[in-house]
Amino acid sequence: MPQQVPPEIDTSVPQSARVYDYWLGGKDNFPADRAMGEAIAAQVPTIRNQVRAQRTFLARTVRYLVREAGIRQFLDVGTGIPTAGNVHEVAQEFAPESRVLYVDNDPIVLAHSRALIPSTPQGRVAFILADLREPEAILGDPTLAETLDLTQPVGLVLIGIMHHLRDDNDPRRIVATLVDALASGSYLVLSQTTPDFNPEAMRGLAAVSEQGGIPNVPRTFAETEPFFSGLELVEPGLVPIAAWRPDPGIQQDPRSVYVYGGAARKP
Amino acid sequence: MTEEQSRGVPTIRRLLLGAQLRRLRTEAGISREDAGEVIRASPWKIHRLENGQVSYKERDIIDLLRLYGVTDPGEIDTFIALAHEANVPGWWNAYSDLLPHWFRAYVDLEAVAAQIRTYQAQLVPGLLQTEAYMRALMRGTLRDRRPEEIERRVMVRLTRQRLFTQDDGPQLWAVMDEAALRRPVGGKKVLRAQIERLIDATTLPRVSLQVLPFTAGAHAAMVGAFSILRFADPDLPDVVYLEHATSATYLDKPEDVEEYAHIMSSVGVHGTPPEQTAEILGELLHDLG
């Protein structure tokens, strides 16, 4: 039984995926994660709504890609702890043959995802432990080639992760590297937290997060738009995520969720 | 906690008592409607009682237990004492000697769990054992080896396994030590059939099996086997179950549960990926010759 050296799990420091789990009411978080979650909530009291809004944005965009754009394979980076409404659940509900590769850099996410995310028999769900800051490693992982056919369109999902990249990580290059590897007709869906609607709260959030060792960079509209460069944004474009094709009957002030998002097609 | 705050927030204690009442009711073949009539309540109220969503009145418990055929005053008193007991974590440990024979804490908690995570060092998880493996195990481990005792235990375990044939049964994530898969409980033939059963189980949608190989060396779970039960209700804490020779321990204090959650994640990461399990079990079969 050959084994790679597995990563060590450290629950003594907060970890982004587990802080999200705490906000979403999950049970896979530890004291350090909860302390961070609460410290951020003190800066942004609506944080749970913000996080839930990102989950529903993910569901709406994936549904759009499956139903209207015909996408059947997904690369989701920054998966998080498995919860209801993951990419494969949304996609396979409509198209059971959908294939999803999840990527996360947290070994706890690895342990839970590979054990607890069942695929439909027709589709495929796989998981790799990798970091968005090293897109070449993601693209070069043999599991990617086993799971996705890069000659066919792919939905690249970068939701709730871009703010963890610092400017010196060169996030534009990272997104471009991934998009370049995808076939024409592929889609990028991306979200990015922003200071535009509540600068003070978002400054506070970023400071608390950075203190706890989790990078956090909110970006303005002008800083976010270039992530879609060379791609064709679908209606309604890059907007506050609550305004992106909201479900019927959902009334929410778009500026109450401090996140931009959009979906764009690779020509 | 005030009465207002506690309303609608199920505790493990209420959940467990509710689960006991549900089992007693269904075993007696009584509908929720009929049970409700006896305590002047709707079937919906019975449903909520059995799911630990409302607290019990002593009078109601006495009436329901009588309806379900529990007549021993001592048993009824114990049950009521449990229902009254303050909501202290691990409350039921103190009662382990007094519990009536029908009070099966673990089995009933397991039945209402949404997710069961377990690490097994020495043996195949009970939920996946073949009958022959179970019997061999019991003959080898129990002091009380009277046929009727073994029969009783086999029946309980087979009933537990029905969880996985129900539509809404729990999800099982089991990490098995390589030692558990190599020890020939019941001899080669029994172990062979047991491993074949495990290979079949890898195809079940709600079952995820991993092997922790000898090559992993020292690991976080060397303290021994454990199970972590998770319940669908977001307000219910996970419960860790540890079995001993003469008793069992239930842990629901956050710091205890988190230690085991950490260990589970660790063996999950150090174990071989679930999608390789069938192949690894196939190799073990081959080694058995």
Task: Give the per-residue SS3 of A54-70.
Answer: HHHHHHHHHHHHHHCCC
Residue B3 burial (10 A CB sphere; 0-12, 13-18, 19+) = exposed
For the stretch A199-236, pLDDT in tens is 999 999 999 999 999 999 999 999 999 999 999 999 99
Q: How many C-beta atoms surround the C-beta of residue A232 within 10 A?
A: 11
CA B255 to chain centre: 21
Compute the C-alpha angle A60/A62/A65, nearest 5°. Answer: 110
| CA dist A1 → A6, B36, B188 (Å) | 14, 57, 22
- Per-residue pLDDT, averaged over B66-93, amounts to 72
Beta-ladder partners of B72:
none
Q: What per-residue confidence (pLDDT) applies to B8?
A: 40
Query: Facing residues of B246 across strands?
Result: none
ipTM: 0.82
Task: Using CB atoms, pick whichever of B178, B205, B261 lies closest to residue A28.
Answer: B261
Contacts of B257 (CB under 8 A, 6+ apart): B228, B237, B238, B239, B240, B251
Domains of chain B: 3-86 (1.10.260.40), 97-288 (3.30.870)
Report if pTM > 0.95: no
Rounded to the nearest angstrom, the minimum Cα separation between A25 and chain B is 7
Looking at residue A2, what is its pLDDT? Answer: 39
Residue with tokens 């979200």: A191
Residues of B in contact with A11 (CB under 8 A): 258, 262
Say if CB A51 and CB A251 are below 8 A apart.
no
Rounded CA separation B137/B125 (Å): 12
Name chain A contacts of B265, Cβ cutoff 8 Å.
9, 107-108, 111-112
Predicted confidence at residue B85, as pLDDT, reads 62
- β-partners of residue B249 are B242
Chain A residues close to B264, C-beta within 8 Å: 111
The contacts of residue A24 (CB under 8 Å, 6+ apart) are A48, A51, A52, A55, A83
pLDDT of residue B121: 94
- pLDDT at position B93 is 52
Mean pLDDT of chain B: 83
The CA–CA distances, whole Å, from A29 to B12, B79, B99, B118 equal: 20, 34, 34, 18
Instruction: State the Cα torsion B121-B127-B133-B135 to the nearest 10°.
Output: 110
What would the mean pLDDT of B109-122 be, rounded to a whole number? Answer: 90
Report how far residue B257's alpha carbon sits from residue A247's, in angstroms, rounded to the nearest whole number.
39
The amino acid that residue A217 corresponds to is V
Q: Cβ–Cβ of B265/A9 closer than 8 Å?
A: yes
User: What SS3 class is residue A49?
Assistant: helix
Give the whole-angstrom CA distance, residue A51 versus residue A21: 10
A residues 117-136 closer than 8 Å to B (CB): 118
- How far apart CA A69 and CA B248 sit, in angstroms, is 55
- Angle, helix A87-94 to helix A47-67, in steps of 10 degrees: 30
Q: Is B215 on the interface with A (CB under 8 A)?
A: yes
Q: Which residue has the tokens 């075993």?
A: B27
Length of chain A: 267
Amino acid A48: pLDDT: 94
Q: What residue type is assigned to position A122 of the chain?
A: Q
Q: How large is the average pLDDT for residues A132-146?
A: 96
